[in-house]
Structure 1
Amino acid sequence: MSFAKAYSGMKGAAARALILGVCGLGLAGCDTLSSLNPFEKDTSYKPEIVSNLPAEEIYNDGLARVQKGDFDGAVTKFSSLDKQYPYTDWARKGLIMEAYANYEGGFYDEAITASRRYLQSYPNTTDAAYAQYLMASSYYDQIPDITRDQEKSERAILALQELVQRYPTSEYVADAKKKIQVASDQLAAKELEVGRFYLQKRNYAGAINRFRHVVSRYQTTRHVEEALQRLTEAYMAMGIVNEAQTAAAVLGHNFPDSPWYKDAHALLTKGGVEPREDSQSWISKAFRGVPQVGQRTG
């Protein structure tokens, strides 16, 4: 019986065993199998050897693409430096520029990833502060309006605060502080929006919890005045007059010309009481020694 006929009647392990048996008789018996290599007899095939371009040339090409606004192409160039020249200063420079090109191109998630990689690999270099700034700015530039989830606002604040704490002498600190204020204002606005909704639904406990967040966490924002007035309103509705008086008194002490104080004062007067601060109230303690919007420095 021929090999072909024997093999045609076998499947699986039996067929593989027959092949191995034939090959075991000598290398010549496997010539037919070796023809599976398409390049064996093709003398024209030559493996292509790609030589690396100089690192400086790749880097400069990336810079040129950035200047032209081709950020996607720039990212490709800068990222190739780590592949072709790993563990070199060119790889380090390429990584920070990869983060920058991604940021400028609006590829924020990629910019965050590249920035985080840089901070993990090169935490003590002169560009570490810039990497932190790029990461924070990538979160900041994605902050949505107050009707949507504010996770990006929270992440932006955390990253910006880390920049201020870890690199206090950095040139990016001043801008980081401004961004922290804006992001905090956004979070306060979100808390107020939800609190007003609860207040309208007469869910006073839920409303107070939201306004309390504004007073406790975001009292240097422009929304703290309304939060104190809303606390006055919610506490009066619940019959907790002492806290309502304290909220109005703190509002009047810190923002005497605020229209929100006039509303709070009128509300208390209608209820037959006046603003009066209880020093043991959480509201009074929250404001003790903390500069307000008009008093901030630096």
Structure 2
Amino acid sequence: MGSSLLVSKFRSGLVLLAVACVAMTMSACAGKTRPKLAYEERPVEALYNTGYERLQQRRWTDAVDYFQEVERQHPYSDWARRSILMQIYAYYQNNNYAEAIAAADRFIQLFPGNPSAAYAFYMKAVCNFEQITDVGRDQGYANAALAGLRDVARRYPGTPYAQDAAVKIDMVNDQLAGKEMNIGRYYQRANQPLAALNRYKAVIANPDFQRTSHTPEALYRLVEVNLQLGLKEEATRNGAVLGYNYPGSPWYAEAYALLTENGHTPDKAPEGKREGWLHRLIPG
């Protein structure tokens, strides 16, 4: 993942929540692959328990084989339902995110009203979240994760899933705001100030981005670009908003110095205008 999303790949306790209802939880480690199982009719308990043993051994691919065999041989049993949840977990632990999402979709389609559907929805979002790349690349996974996390928060308010989704939503918004900033800096370096201005404004105007770590820099960049365009009043206003909301930020110190060099002081911006911009920047 990129520097804007300060999170390494991890295994959240919530990932284990539904699995803990049907088996013990265990630590993450990639397993080795092996040929698919030859068909052999066996009691459902034996198949399921063997799959569970493979999970304990962290042999994720082997575990999936046995849980799939439970589905094939006993498709309408409660064991089959549990086996799909186990497949989601095993695929995720083995970094097979597409397969984990497919298994989650299958569970949701077959058991939409089951309480464990919350886990399936959550895992879909987490699988996309884990694949978010740095801000210099396409943010398709970030957008998919954001949509999935919002869906979890909407469907299951007040649950641990929704609480964790809220944290991850903030992280994804920071990532997407970072993407806008990255593009804005590119345009600014390419001497395309209007294109850069629009990107920086997008960070300030989007309510989801306003509380991200990129807001102070976005305001500073607006000061820079507006001065370049000769829009001195706008530059001064942006500097005032920056100082009002982030007085200790190094970006405000730079903005203050830049405006002072150009004969302006952000503290002298009209109070009414500064307050109006503040309300639009950070709603009450």
Query: Does the alignment reach a TM-score above 0.5?
Result: yes
Structure 1 counterpart of 2:122, from 116, 133, 137: 133
CA distance in 1 between counterparts of 2:85 and 2:135 reads: 32
Greater Rg over alpha carbons, structure: 1
CA distance in 1 between counterparts of 2:248 and 2:67 reads: 55
| Superposed CA offset, 1:223-276 (max 9, x none) | 111011001111111122232222211111111111111111222222223322
CA change 1:241–1:256 in 2 (3 A) is same
Structure 2 residue 210 is matched with structure 1 residue 219: yes
CA distance in 2 between counterparts of 1:142 and 1:262 reads: 36
| Superposed CA offset, 1:149-172 (max 9, x none) | 121112112111211111112222
Structure 2 residue 100 is matched with structure 1 residue 106: no
CA distance in 2 between counterparts of 1:59 and 1:133 reads: 24
| Superposed CA offset, 1:146-193 (max 9, x none) | 222121112112111211111112222332222222222222222212
Q: Answer whether contact 1:139 1:152 (CA < 8 A) is retained.
A: yes
Structure 2 counterpart of 1:192, from 171, 181, 194: 181
Structure 2 residue 55 is matched with structure 1 residue 66: yes
Structure 1 counterpart of 2:85, from 79, 96, 103: 96
Q: Corresponding residue for 1:35?
A: none
CA change 1:265–1:124 in 2 (3 A) is same
Give structure 1 stretches of 5+ with no counterpart: 1-49, 291-298
Over the aligned positions, Cα root-mean-square deviation in angstroms equals 2.2
Shift of 1:280: 9.5
CA distance in 1 between counterparts of 2:252 and 2:128 reads: 35
Q: Corresponding residue for 2:41?
A: 52
CA distance in 1 between counterparts of 2:193 and 2:275 reads: 18
| Superposed CA offset, 1:116-167 (max 9, x none) | 2212222221111111221111111111122221211121121112111111
Q: Corresponding residue for 1:81?
A: 70
Structure 2 residue 278 is matched with structure 1 residue 266: no
CA distance in 2 between counterparts of 1:87 and 1:183 reads: 38
Runs of 4+ in 1 over 3 A off after TM superposition: 277-286
Q: How many residues align?
A: 241
CA change 1:213–1:117 in 2 (3 A) is farther
Amino acid aligned to 2:47: I
Shift of 1:114: 1.0
Q: Which moved more, 1:210-219 or 1:200-209?
A: 210-219
CA distance in 2 between counterparts of 1:281 and 1:203 reads: 30
* Identity across the alignment (%): 39
TM-score norm. by structure 2 comes to: 0.78
